[in-house]
Amino acid sequence: MLAQIVTGLTAMAISGIFPIGLLGELVSIGTLLAFVIVCAGIFVLRFTNPEIPRPFRTPAFWLVCPLGIFFCALAMVGLPLDTWVRLIVWMAIGLVIYFLYSCRHSKVQKQAASSPSPVVPKT
């Protein structure tokens, strides 16, 4: 609940400070990028892990996914250059935060630290 309140307050502050046109462009490029990533992910998973259960099936994924990637990318190309710069900057900030957080909170890292390391004989 606290996360929802903080997110709502942040969204309200941002929407009150920046022009609506700028926010519209940022939302558009972010949403289109998410669609590109989802289409690419579905396409890759169909070939790399065809056996995993899927409650939702994409019809003709071999056609829908590439077309989704193409048309979303085409719409992204039509956005102004400064929107692309903002996307790259925000993505860089997000990746830094993500990796800094994951280094300290990684379950794999915690398991590796808690399990005894194998003894390697000296030769």
Residue 16 counted as domain residue: yes
Q: pTM value?
A: 0.76
Among 25, 16, 32, smallest CA distance to 86 is for 25
Q: Cα torsion for 64, 81, 91, 42, to the nearest 10°?
A: 10
Identify whether 49 is part of a domain. Answer: yes
DSSP state of 117: P
pLDDT band at 106 (very low <50, low <70, confident <90, very high): confident
Domain annotation covers residue 45: yes
Distance CA 15, CA 98 (A): 24
Whether 26 maps to a domain, the answer reads: yes
Number of domains in the chain: 1
List CB contacts of 65: < 8 A, sequence separation 6 or more.
39, 40, 42, 43, 46, 58
Whether 113 is in a domain gets the answer: no
Range of the domain at 48: 2-80
Indicate whether 60 belongs to any domain: yes
102 domain residue, yes or no: no
Q: Write down the pLDDT at residue 30.
A: 96
Q: Are 39 and 75 in contact (CB under 8 A)?
A: no
Predicted confidence (pLDDT) at residue 109 exceeds the cutoff of 80: no
Q: How confident is the model at residue 54 (pLDDT cuts 50, 70, 90)?
A: confident
Give a yes or no: residue 56 inside a domain: yes
Question: Stretch 96-122: mean pLDDT, rounded?
Answer: 77
pLDDT of residue 8: 96
Q: State the average pLDDT over residues 60-82.
A: 96
